[in-house]
Amino acid sequence: MDTPSLISFQVTYRGAIHPLSLLPESTLAMLQIRLEELTSVPPSQQKLIYKGKKPSHTDDTTLQEAGFKNGIRVQLLGATAEEVGGIRKIEDEQRKRERIMRERALKGTVKVRSTGLSTFSPLPTQYRFHKLEPLPHLPKPETALSFLERISSDPAVLHVMQAHRFSVGMLTELAPHEQPNLLGLNMNAGQVIKLRIRTDVYDGFRPYLDVRRVLCHELSHNVWGDHDNNFKELNSRLNREVVEFERAAREGAHLLVDGLGGYQPTSELEAEARVYVLGGDGVTGPSANESIEERRRRMLEATMNRLRKEEEELEQSCGTRGTTGKIIDDDIPGIDDMADTKTAPTNPMRELRIEKLVITHPSPPAFPCLADISVGESGDRLTRASKVLEQLTGQTPVTSKARYTVRTFGIRRNEKIAVHVTIRGPKAEEILERGLKVKEYELRRRNFSETGNFGFGIQEHIDLGARYDPGIGIFGMDFYVVMGRPGNRVAKRRVKTARVGPSHRVGKDDTMAWFKQRFDGIILVSFLT
């Protein structure tokens, strides 16, 4: 008798790989039972992601009908029964508190009385956030509360709320596991506003400016429920007023702390707050062959395209509909829906990706990002530079030592002269985009190398959103980005090393086209490039 052929494949769950071999006639229900034995994830919580997945299936569907093949890699998503029970218990308590808050709100607004002195001119106190509440079951609730306090006391946000008479009962956070596709939610026209301030994997917090932009979007829902032209006009007006307020506050004074007053350092702090810039791409003036009007027109077109894309993504990530602020589940695509509607690229092996990001002074992860601060000397400056790295990346920096003695620069062999941090995954692209925002998404041709890598410099690390610390000072930094394509690993692996063909290598023109398409960037051309 012939031995029946088996389908052998691997299932990955939270970093663990489970090899399985089942008959083609086995059903998905049998596979789910087997996975429950291996991972403790109940079948109702299991979500399988793999290449060639059929759009619809039932528990009686066989593995062969579902698209399983030999050697296929399957990604399992889902929470264990213990985790689901704990989350539901906490969410039930949270819903109970929210119900009590809604009942109290219906009884009437409590009159708020100011008990302290204010540095601002007398303004109505009812136009503000009356309560801040982080989610206690998520990591570091005290840090989340500090984030909410910062955005609720932002002078630009308070200016907008007082100008438009906005009042919000409670400002809280939105857990990524509740609605992974939402960035914000406005319930009952300002009774509760929820903002997604944490990253997907709970390893940090989202950029402050991005969260503030979502807040302006949700404040617009205090007046208009749907994303119609009236809503878009108000949302644009709020964002414009925030920018104009901050621009007016910066005129004549460089604001280094929150508030309306300019920072006046002491003589000791002035000596500490020197600017150290090791790199940079020089002055980015207009091209010799390009008029100022043409350059302004290109910048305006690129900026409008970028803002239009950001606004479309923000509307898709908003759970507010109509005037009730309810979440419409049908409007939130699931993993299966997104997999069905997404158009596959013609050749995924040709797609460019960030392999490594290196930031010198702080810098460069699934693809590496290395943040490297090279101060050229050891001592207190190196310690302060290390603190800057840790603030920007949320990781512990690593120091580098000098290989040779250079008497001209006063460097001794084995002396610590630099610090660096390696970042991997989406955080690399996130930090890169923060740096490109500082550069207004403008680079020169000379910023791109012939091997497809590129770099640029910024003068002040506080432009990336970090708070100014007089004890640390201000550091400049360089960003170096190493690009690659899938398959480059064959030239670096230890077993069966192979050569990457010339057509698969990344070139200067490839990276420049990727930069323009991915970030709507502008390449400045001049006779110096």
Name the superfamily (CATH) of residues 350-524.
Ribosomal protein L5 (3.30.1440.10)
Average pLDDT, integer, range 416-440: 83
Q: How far apart are CA 18 and CA 68, in angstroms?
A: 15
Q: What CA–CA distance (Å, rounded) separates 398 from 356?
A: 16
Query: CATH topology of 7-78 equal to that of 350-524?
Result: no
**Of the candidates 516, 470, 1, which has an alpha carbon nearest to the alpha carbon of residue 273?**
470
Rounded-to-10 torsion of CA 148, 385, 372, 15: -40
Residue 108 has what pLDDT? 56
Report the CATH number of the 7-78 domain.
3.10.20.90
- The mean pLDDT of 132-136, rounded to a whole number, is 88
Rg of the chain, C-alpha, whole Å: 27
Q: What mean pLDDT comes out for the span 59-87?
A: 82
pLDDT at 392: 84
Task: Tell me the average pLDDT across 396-418.
Answer: 84
Q: What is the mean pLDDT of residues 386-393?
A: 82
Cα 456 to Cα 282: distance, rounded to the nearest angstrom: 9
416 vs 409: CA distance, rounded Å = 14
Whether the predicted pLDDT of 514 surpasses 60: yes
Q: Average of pLDDT values for 352-371?
A: 59
Q: What is the mean pLDDT of residues 318-327?
A: 54
Checking if the pLDDT of 453 tops 90, the result is yes
Max mean pLDDT range (269-283, 459-473, 490-504): 490-504
d(C-alpha 515, C-alpha 353), whole Å: 11
For residue range 45-55, list pLDDT tens digits in order.
888 888 877 76
Residue 446, exposed/middle/buried by CB under 10 A (0-12, 13-18, 19+)?
A: middle
The region of weakest confidence among 319-333, 393-407, 452-466 is 319-333
The mean-pLDDT minimum among 36-50, 87-101, 377-391 falls in: 377-391
pLDDT at 254 over 70: no
pLDDT at 112 over 50: no
Q: Does the structure show a pLDDT above 90 at 454?
A: yes
Question: 271 CB contacts (<8 Å, ≥6 apart)?
Answer: none
pLDDT at 119: 44
- Stretch 217-231: mean pLDDT: 84
Note whether 174 and 194 are within 8 A (CB): yes
Most confident option among 50-59, 294-303, 474-483: 474-483
Confidence of residue 340 (pLDDT cuts 50, 70, 90): very low
d(CA 304, CA 299): 9
pLDDT at residue 298 tops 90: no
Sheet containing 477-484: order of strands: 398-401, 416-424, 368-374, 353-360, 477-484, 454-458
> 3-state class of 112 per DSSP?
coil
pLDDT above 70 (res 474): yes
> What are the domain boundaries of the chain?
7-78, 350-524
Residue 469: phi and psi, rounded to 5, are: -120, 115
**How far, in Å, are 243, 411, 434, 438 from residue 462 at the CA level?**
17, 29, 11, 10
Q: What is the pLDDT of residue 411?
A: 84
Pairwise CA distance, residues 107 & 113, whole Å: 18
SS (HEC) of 395-458: CCCEEEECCCCEHHHCECCCCEEEEEEEEECHHHHHHHHHHHHHCCCEEEHHHECCCCCEEEEE
